[in-house]
């Protein structure tokens, strides 16, 4: 324990306190000898980084519990559905990097919502976000002042509409072409073009200033 504390730059008493609070996992024991590994050191550094970012120990404990509950025995690719063809690029993040993306917004509730939505999974000591584009857009919305909880709530609605649109395009091609299994390389860009154009025009209509009174 002394070696671990020295490597982490904290006291043995602090390591013992963190272990008693469940913030770090118990060591592997060999008789009377307790063995700590790089995973314990990484967790201590994460705790220090989150404390520097204003998180409380209670909050860190809640986040740690949420991370542990989110671990999947099948690996993050299965959890995120990444065994399917996709254009999205997953992003590996440490807990402190996730906190930097969403300053002050990484709460157990928001983490649970993101996990339920499939945006996040836990792989070892890393968090994996399903999509670089969605990560960047979500963090940009939070920087604009939109609470992360509201971003995630909107994402649930967007997901439902996106699923309906995907079903519409696939059904249309299956109904009116000879191919019962549309080629994704053909369907994907066509569907994306139509949706992007319609969404752009819808935003024009919503954001257009109201006509001035005569």
Query: 3-state SS string over 182-199?
Result: CCHHHHHHHHHHHHHHHH
Tally Cβ neighbours within 10 Å of residue 178: 5
The full length of the chain comes to 214
Is the CB of residue 146 less than 8 Å from the CB of residue 96?
Answer: no
Alpha carbon distance 184, 166 (integer Å): 11
Q: What is the residue-wise DSSP string for 86-154?
A: -S---EEE-HHHHHHHTTTT--HHHHHHHHHHTSEEEETTEEEES-HHHHHHHHHHHHTT--HHHHHHH
Tell me 9's DSSP state.
T
Domain ranges of the chain: 1-52, 154-207
Q: Classify domain 1-52 at the CATH topology level.
A: Multidrug-efflux Transporter Regulator; Chain: A; Domain 2 (1.10.1660)
pLDDT digits (tens, 9 = 90+) for 52-110: 767 777 777 777 776 666 555 454 444 445 455 578 888 888 877 888 888 878 777 88
The confidence score (pLDDT) of residue 79 equals 47
Does residue 148 register a pLDDT over 80?
A: yes
Tell me how far apart the terminal alpha carbons of the chain are, to the nearest angstrom. Answer: 78
The confidence score (pLDDT) of residue 72 equals 53
Mean pLDDT computed over 27-50: 75
């Amino acid at each position: 324990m002394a070696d671990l504390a020295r490597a982490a730059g904290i006291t043995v008493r602090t390591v013992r306190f963190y272990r008693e609070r469940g913030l770090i996992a118990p060591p592997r024991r060999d008789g009377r000898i307790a063995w700590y590994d790089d995973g314990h050191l990484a967790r201590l550094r994460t705790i220090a980084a989150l404390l520097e970012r204003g998180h409380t120990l209670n909050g860190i404990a809640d986040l740690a519990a949420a991370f542990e509950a989110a671990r999947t025995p099948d690996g993050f690719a299965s959890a995120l559905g990444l065994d399917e063809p996709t254009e999205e690029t997953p992003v590996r993040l440490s807990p402190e990097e996730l906190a930097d993306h969403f300053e002050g917004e990484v709460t157990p509730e928001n983490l649970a919502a993101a996990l339920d939505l499939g945006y996040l999974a836990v792989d070892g000591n890393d968090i994996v976000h399903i999509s670089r584009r969605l990560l960047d857009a979500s963090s940009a919305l939070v920087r604009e002042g939109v609470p992360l909880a509201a971003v995630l709530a909107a994402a649930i609605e967007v997901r439902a509409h996106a699923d309906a649109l995907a079903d519409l395009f696939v059904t249309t091609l299956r109904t009116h072409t000879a191919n019962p299994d549309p080629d994704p390389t053909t369907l994907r860009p066509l569907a994306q073009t139509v949706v992007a154009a319609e969404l752009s025009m819808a935003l024009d209509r919503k954001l257009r200033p109201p006509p001035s009174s005569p």
